[in-house]
Amino acid sequence: MTVRDELNRRSLRATRGRLQVYEALRAAEAPATVRDLHARLGEAAPDLATVYRILERFVESNLARPVMFGDGLRRYESTERSHHHHLVCTSCGSIGILDLCQVESLEKEALRSHGFRVTSHLLELFGTCPGCARQASRSRA
Amino acid sequence: MTVRDELNRRSLRATRGRLQVYEALRAAEAPATVRDLHARLGEAAPDLATVYRILERFVESNLARPVMFGDGLRRYESTERSHHHHLVCTSCGSIGILDLCQVESLEKEALRSHGFRVTSHLLELFGTCPGCARQASRSRA
DNA sequence: TTATCAATTGCAAATCGTTTGCATCTGGAT
DNA sequence: ATCCAGATGCAAACGATTTGCAATTGATAA
């Protein structure tokens, strides 16, 4: 399915800006901020405000997913990859992907103890990636 | 242990503003934004910028803990209550507390599959509280 | 108690991410 | 080729948070 089809299927006009942002999102190796995406597109990039609007639409249409690391910046990632969580290295900022999610038991507990029905969750893990751990042990030596 | 002691123990001067914010934080039934806290203190409240600085200090000193719901606002809660997660009702905004945390297995998996050492995490659950669920079913009827 | 000084605060201005109003442009249906 | 709702560019507005700096004030020592 081509990009245009994806957009079409969601009745989103296939404008140049959308095609560009869509590609940038796909190409990103990690969740990207609006500024990141905008910058990656260089000269031909649509206006920054437009990129904001495009991503808003993408989220509504489930082409993109917002990602929050709690640093006040909103990031986005393509929905091509399914639900997962991130391993955010607090030392170098690298992002790992954890394709494991075990919130069901928490959801059950929320329902059991509070009668609360969970519909979505926010879960990100922070720590040290192997590379940074190696460096740290080296410089410590 | 009195408030002053708590502050003292962390070599934080027991200023009026700190005492006030500390009490407001304790009294809050849910994680509160800086504006919330500032507003709750009314007339005698320290400057808003000061409240920001006070909370910054409180976090450093582990008297307060930042809480992120991904809506772009930073909230704080007292650390008197130990580590837990929140049940955020997306309908009425009420906050429930879940004193259960099962990220250890995820941490193990992160280490096993990525060599990533988790040091902290961000986990919030969104959904519908029992009150809102009742209302919804009623109006649906 | 009083003097002293670094820590703290108030105030205003600056930042920064994000949103919005509005006139213009354009994709795609006719 | 025409048309128009939807999309965009641009600039201004916003709201949360931060910062510079001068004035104030806890807490310690005399």
Q: Is the C-alpha dihedral spanning A53, B71, A22, A7 positive or negative?
A: negative
Among chain B residues 69 through 108, which have CB within 7 angstroms of nucleic chain D? Answer: 72-74
For residue A141, what pLDDT is reported? 67
- pLDDT band at residue A139 under the 50/70/90 scheme: confident
B42 touches chain A (CB under 8 A): no
SS3 B116: coil
Q: CA-based Rg of chain A, rounded to a whole angstrom? A: 18
CB contact under 8 A, B127 and A105: no
Cβ neighbours, 10 Å, residue A85: 25
pLDDT for residue B51 is more than 90: yes
pLDDT at position B136 over 70? yes
Stated pTM of the model: 0.94
Q: Which nucleotide is nearest to A15 (CA to C1')?
A: C27
Q: What angle do CA A55, B72, B78 make, to 5 degrees?
A: 155
Nucleotide with smallest C1' distance to residue A18 CA: D7
Residue A30 pLDDT grade (very low, low, confident, very high; cuts 50, 70, 90):
very high
Average pLDDT estimate for A8-19: 96
pLDDT at B3 over 90: no
Residues B25-42 have a mean pLDDT of 97
Q: Exposure pattern of B80-106 as b/e (b: 16+ CB <10 Å)?
A: eeeeebbbbbeeeeebbebeeeebeeb
Does the pLDDT value for residue A3 go beyond 90?
Answer: no
The reply to whether residue A100 touches residue B119, judged by beta carbons under 8 angstroms, is no
Residue–nucleotide distance: A12 CA to D6 C1' (Å): 9
Please report the beta strands in chain B, taking only residues with DSSP state E, as ranges in sequence order. 32-33, 64-68, 74-78, 85-89, 95-98, 117-128
DSSP line for B68-97 = E-SSS-EEEEETTS-S-EEEEETTT--EEE
Q: What is the largest CA-CA distance in chain A?
A: 59
A111 to chain B, closest Cα gap in Å: 9
Residue B137 predicted with pLDDT over 90: no
Smallest CA–CA distance, residue B85 to chain A, in Å, is 10
pLDDT in tens, A78-136: 999 999 999 999 999 999 999 999 999 999 999 999 999 999 999 999 999 999 999 98
Query: Residue A133's beta-bridge partner residues?
Result: none
Q: What is the pLDDT of residue A2?
A: 82
Q: Which residue has the higher pLDDT, A39 or A43?
A: A39
pLDDT band at B141 (very low <50, low <70, confident <90, very high): low
Strand, coil or helix: A79 = coil
Strand D-contacting residues in B 52-71, CB cut-off 7 angstroms: 52-53, 56
How far A75 CA lies from chain B's nearest CA (Å)? 11
Bases of strand D lying below 7 A from some protein CB: 6-12, 16-20, 25-27
CA distances from A89 to A35, A72, A131, B39, B70 (A): 21, 17, 10, 36, 19
The dihedrals phi and psi of A71, each to the nearest 5 degrees, come to -105, 15
Over residues A44-66, the pLDDT tens digits come to 999 999 999 999 999 999 999 99
Contact between B86 and B69 (Cβ < 8 Å): yes
pLDDT grade for B2, boundaries at 50, 70 and 90: confident
